[in-house]
């Protein structure tokens, strides 16, 4: 079939593929444990529901402006003041179909074919394909010391004449690593000096642990004028457990936001007005659900760490935030795709292979589920991987027998 060059280079989202696999097994009645999830399980805030329902009840659901409804922009202006201590105008904001679309249109607005966008590894699975969709090239940056915490020198070394943008995602999906203030300040400064766009993917910035506070990138910017090349991405998906609402946003200079709005206007038009109203409800409503989600995730993280640390052969760095950890399983298998397949086939535990995030030998494990899912999931993995495990494992009344060594 004569598909386009771009179509041929884009693969299905690995996490969505895994979700399908888990759903098929569950339908068959298999007791799958999903440690691959990318969404909190808490309820959507009631203020979001009330606000969306009120709009639905008008029975007048129309097109929204391409860049977002004024009420949502007003809520985002307030959010930006609260978390970034920065006053922005409505023209500095675009609301999109999730943070995903906000990042996509930002890249389309700044990247020419063959130009490069850099991002630290491990990286969110979509960045490389988003770069490809622009005809551009995604360049992962690995920390020289092998950690999840790159230094500015690591970035500097990969920057060349084709580098047009850098994306920083902190805390990071999949590692949970939150970059230091020093690193963020160095990158902001470096991008300003080199006239490079800096896209801060802050989608997890409130889901952080151990008393840490969200880092405000603007604090380190010297140029806060309409020439600033800093674009900040955020959304309601993770912090308000509203993944299905598909509302995210970007804050940037007026020219880039206008370009993004023009692109989005032709792609999808503005996001559904009902869902934007829901986001307004969440942003302006009672905020206790965010703190309660954060506390639950911190507790889940602690349980996940305790279980993984007692897993001989596994090396893991304690996440600073998000609801993921990225553990090194190379002792058992250096091929993360094979290992992930083995775990779903043998003990029905779903994990995401590290190769998808640019690091072989690792698995991404989520702790956004229940404590029982975390503990039982890790126990099953231990049983499958430890050659000294007993020969049999019971899952409910189902008996699994080891037929591998």
- What residues line the site for ligand PLP (CB under 6 A)? 38, 98-100, 124, 169, 173, 201, 203, 235, 237, 243, 248
* Distance of closest approach, residue 43 Cβ to ligand PLP, in angstroms: 17
Before 252, cis peptide (omega within 30)? Answer: no
* Distance of closest approach, residue 171 Cβ to ligand PLP, in angstroms: 9
* Distance of closest approach, residue 243 Cβ to ligand PLP, in angstroms: 5
Beginning with the edge strand found earlier in the chain, give each strand of the sheet holding 137-141 in spatial order. Answer: 93-97, 247-251, 230-235, 197-201, 163-169, 116-120, 137-141
Judged by beta carbon, residue 130 or residue 385, the one nearer ligand PLP is 130
- Whether 139 and 118 have beta carbons less than 8 Å apart is answered as yes
Largest CA distance in the chain: 66
Judged by beta carbon, residue 38 or residue 332, the one nearer ligand PLP is 38
* Distance of closest approach, residue 387 Cβ to ligand PLP, in angstroms: 35
The pair of three-digit structure tokens given for residue 290, joined into one six-digit string: 């965010």
Judged by beta carbon, residue 98 or residue 252, the one nearer ligand PLP is 98
* Distance of closest approach, residue 3 Cβ to ligand PLP, in angstroms: 25
* Distance of closest approach, residue 400 Cβ to ligand PLP, in angstroms: 32
Judged by beta carbon, residue 203 or residue 231, the one nearer ligand PLP is 203
The pair of three-digit structure tokens given for residue 35, joined into one six-digit string: 């440690």
> Which residues contact residue 128 at a Cβ distance below 8 angstroms, ignoring those fewer than 6 apart?
138, 140
Strand bridging mode 230-235 / 247-251: antiparallel
Judged by beta carbon, residue 192 or residue 356, the one nearer ligand PLP is 356
Q: Give the residue closest to ligand PLP by C-beta.
A: 98
The pair of three-digit structure tokens given for residue 241, joined into one six-digit string: 């457990």
* Distance of closest approach, residue 211 Cβ to ligand PLP, in angstroms: 23
Judged by beta carbon, residue 125 or residue 347, the one nearer ligand PLP is 125
* Distance of closest approach, residue 165 Cβ to ligand PLP, in angstroms: 15
């Amino acid at each position: 079939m004569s598909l386009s060059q771009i179509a041929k280079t884009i693969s299905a989202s690995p996490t969505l593929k895994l979700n399908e696999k888990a759903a098929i097994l569950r339908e068959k009645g298999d007791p799958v444990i999903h440690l691959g999830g990318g969404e909190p399980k808490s309820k959507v805030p009631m203020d979001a529901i009330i606000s969306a329902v009120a709009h639905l009840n008008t029975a007048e659901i129309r097109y929204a402006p391409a860049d977002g409804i004024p009420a949502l922009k007003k809520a985002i202006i307030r959010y930006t003041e609260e978390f970034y201590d920065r006053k922005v105008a409505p023209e500095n904001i675009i609301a999109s179909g999730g943070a995903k679309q906000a990042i996509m249109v930002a890249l389309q607005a700044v990247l020419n074919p063959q130009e490069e966008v850099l991002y630290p590894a491990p990286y969110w699975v979509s960045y490389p394909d988003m770069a490809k969709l622009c005809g551009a090239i995604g360049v992962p940056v690995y920390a020289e010391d092998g950690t999840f915490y790159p230094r500015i020198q690591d970035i500097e070394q990969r920057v060349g004449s084709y580098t047009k943008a850098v994306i920083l995602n902190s805390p990071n999906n999949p590692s949970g690593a939150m970059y230091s203030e020093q690193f963020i300040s160095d990158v902001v400064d470096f991008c300003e000096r080199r006239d490079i766009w800096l896209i801060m993917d802050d989608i997890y910035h409130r889901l952080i642990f151990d008393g840490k506070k969200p880092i405000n990138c603007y604090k380190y910017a010297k140029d806060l004028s309409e020439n600033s090349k800093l674009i900040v991405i955020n959304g309601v998906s993770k912090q308000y457990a509203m993944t299905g609402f598909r509302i995210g946003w970007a804050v940037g200079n007026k020219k880039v936001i206008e370009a993004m709005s023009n692109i989005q206007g032709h792609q999808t038009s503005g996001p559904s007005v009902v869902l934007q109203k829901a986001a307004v409800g969440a942003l302006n409503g009672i905020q206790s659900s965010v703190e309660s989600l954060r506390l639950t995730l911190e507790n889940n993280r602690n349980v996940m760490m305790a279980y993984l640390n007692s897993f001989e052969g596994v090396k893991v760095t304690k996440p600073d935030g998000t609801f993921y950890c990225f553990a090194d399983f190379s002792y058992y298998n250096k091929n993360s795709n094979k290992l992930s397949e083995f775990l779903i086939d043998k003990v029905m535990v779903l994990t995401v292979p590290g190769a998808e995030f640019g690091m072989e030998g690792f698995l991404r494990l989520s702790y956004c589920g229940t404590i029982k899912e975390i503990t039982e999931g890790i126990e099953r993995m231990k049983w499958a991987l430890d050659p000294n495990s007993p020969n049999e494992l019971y899952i409910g009344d189902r008996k699994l027998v080891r037929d591998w060594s």
